[in-house]
Every structure is written in C-alpha cells, then in structure tokens.
C-alpha cells in the first residue's frame, strides 16, 4: 500500500517555508505522495454551502487563504526527491486547456516525472462565475 498526505495549502500554514518543510518531513517520514486540491475563491455569501456547513459558516474558515495547487506542488517538488505529487481534483474547466497542459507538463518535467494529475469539475457555482467558466 502507498500512503499519501495533503500539503498545507490553505489556512495559516499556507506559506512557502511551511510547505517546503512539510513536504521534506513527509517524504522523510515515508509518505509516498503529496496532494493538493483546487479552490478559486471563498465567496462571502456563497450560492452553495460547503458540505456540512451553515449559512453563518458556509465553508471551513481556513479556506479564506487557499494557495494555487500547482505553485504548492512546485514548492514540494523542489523540496523532495522521491514522493509523487498529485492533484486530488484540479478543476480543469477553470483553465484554458493549452495552458493547463503546458503547466502540468512543466511541473512533471521539473519534478522528474513525479506528477499524478487528477482532474475534475468542482461543484461551487460561484467559482465558475468568478473564473468566467459558467
């Protein structure tokens, strides 16, 4: 069995020095892969609530700071040598296809072929509107 762990890409720990150290420590601890998700924004009054949340607290508060998934993986790639690097869901419709392919290919090359991109469509309508993909 392979074991992965999510990188600290959101909340108070979403800082380059923390991400790099976390990635190194996770690899040293034996984790096989490092993972990120994808959020474009945290709307003040979302049209859809995050699962399990209320209108008063519509999403996890730490989501107010959510770093770009490919930048976070680039930090992890530069800090590790063995661990696979993955996107649990990269919301592909938000990105121009050619530029997304270029970014993923560049990250895969820079990491020595360690990228495992997982693509999806997301679910929050406000994010689609914000990125002009609705």
pLDDT in tens, 34-68: 999 999 888 888 888 888 888 888 888 888 889 99
- Answer yes or no: are the C-beta atoms of 34 and 23 closer than 8 Å: yes
Buried b (16+ CB within 10 A) or exposed e, 99-110: ebeebbeebbee
- pLDDT over 90 for what percent of the chain? 74
Which residue bears the tokens 């970014």?
103
- Residue 118 is predicted with a pLDDT of 98
From the centroid of its chain, how far is CA 96?
A: 17
The string of DSSP codes covering 28-97 is HTT--EEEE---S---SS-SSPPTT--SSS-S-GGGGSB--HHHHHHHHHHH-SS-EEEEEEEEGGGS-H
* Number of domains comprising the chain: 1
Q: Band of the pLDDT at 23, cuts 50, 70, 90?
A: very high
- Residue 60 is predicted with a pLDDT of 83
Domain assignment of residue 52, given as a range:
4-130
CATH number for the domain spanning 108: value is 3.20.20.30
Q: 78 versus 51: which is more confidently predicted?
A: 78
Q: Band of the pLDDT at 15, cuts 50, 70, 90?
A: very high
Instruction: Supply the pTM of this predicted model.
Output: 0.91
Q: Band of the pLDDT at 75, cuts 50, 70, 90?
A: very high
Give which of 8, 25, 4 is closest to 85, Cα–Cα: 4
103-117 pLDDT, tens per residue? 999 999 999 999 999
């Amino acid at each position: 069995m392979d074991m992965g762990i999510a990188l600290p890409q959101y909340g108070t720990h979403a800082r380059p020095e923390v991400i790099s150290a976390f990635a190194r420590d996770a690899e040293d601890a034996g984790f096989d892969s490092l993972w990120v998700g994808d959020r474009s924004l945290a709307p003040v009054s979302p049209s859809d609530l995050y699962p399990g949340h209320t209108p008063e607290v519509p999403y996890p508060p730490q989501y107010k700071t959510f770093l770009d998934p490919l930048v976070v993986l680039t930090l992890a790639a530069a800090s590790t040598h063995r661990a696979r690097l993955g996107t649990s869901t990269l919301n592909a419709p938000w990105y121009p296809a050619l530029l997304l392919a270029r970014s993923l290919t560049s990250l895969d090359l820079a990491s020595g072929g360690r990228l495992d991109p997982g693509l999806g469509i997301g679910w929050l309508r406000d994010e689609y509107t914000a990125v002009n993909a609705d």
